[in-house]
Structure 1
Amino acid sequence: MGDFIDFFLKNPFLIIVLIGILTSMLGKKKQPQDPNTPPKKKWQEVMQELQGEMQQGNQQQGPAPAPVRKVEQQAAQAAEVIDETTNEANKRIAELRRLQQKYDQERLYQKAKADQLTSTIADNNSPVYRKGPSFGKKQLIDGIIMSEVLGPPRAKRSLQRSRR
């Protein structure tokens, strides 16, 4: 018996488990039912009651009349809606075409104006337009060589600028 007690004292986890089991067994008390709450039913009983109610409802209603007028009214309304949307779409298409033509005219006008300006600027006698100097590959190479020849000696230039 002493070995049994020593075993439990050396294992605190087992003590916690035993205390939990004892409290759960002793802590359960039967709660009195509240008279206002309905008694709990099994799901099979609930399903049988619902099926019985559905069968009674079907027997009382009888056959449903065919809603012919309602369908005709909906068809007429659908036709009206289709006509309205078609008219609206046609109006929008006409407006878009008109705007496209206006845009094309404006673009042609701007292009003609730009062509007129470029023809005026391209005039060699114009004081606004002067043709600048043009360098070829050979002239650029000669310029670099002459800057090295005429510039300060390489030894006197700073090294910081050449590393960049």
Structure 2
Amino acid sequence: MPPGATWPAGSVPAPPPAPPRSLVRRLLPPVGTLAGVVAAFAYVGAVDPNEPGHYPVCPLLRFTGIYCPGCGGLRSAHAFAHGDLPAALGANALAVVGYGIFAVAITVWLIRAVRGVPMRLAISPVWWWGIGAVLALFTLVRNLPFGSALAP
């Protein structure tokens, strides 16, 4: 196209496709994420949250006496890192469900990265509201007398 000329409206050519990324570059994000999570579990597995003074106290629990959905999460991760699933479930059952969801998601991400298929996570607002409802219900039940089995 000569200098100063413009493309007619709606006819701008698409840019050329990007060259395919190497396997190593495709694996960096999921492997990096997995390495960060493994490092966090290794730290929590080594530094026992059952001993006072190692981690801060949940502010909601400290000021209101109400267990939040995350209360017991560190103790759950510590027990899970040591292979004690019953203790992990007793400390925070919802966190253990989260570990399973993460394991499935990271596996799918790794498989898609190896195959060269981009990982796109698009969650509709209905799912976000559902997740919020589950968290609210879990919080409510674990703070009532009949749900004391869910309290850490």
TM-score, normalised to structure 1, is 0.21
Higher relative contact order (CA 8 A, sep 6+): 2
**Structure 1 or 2: larger helix share?**
1
- Structure 1 or 2, whichever has the larger Rg, is 1
TM-score, normalised to structure 2, is 0.22
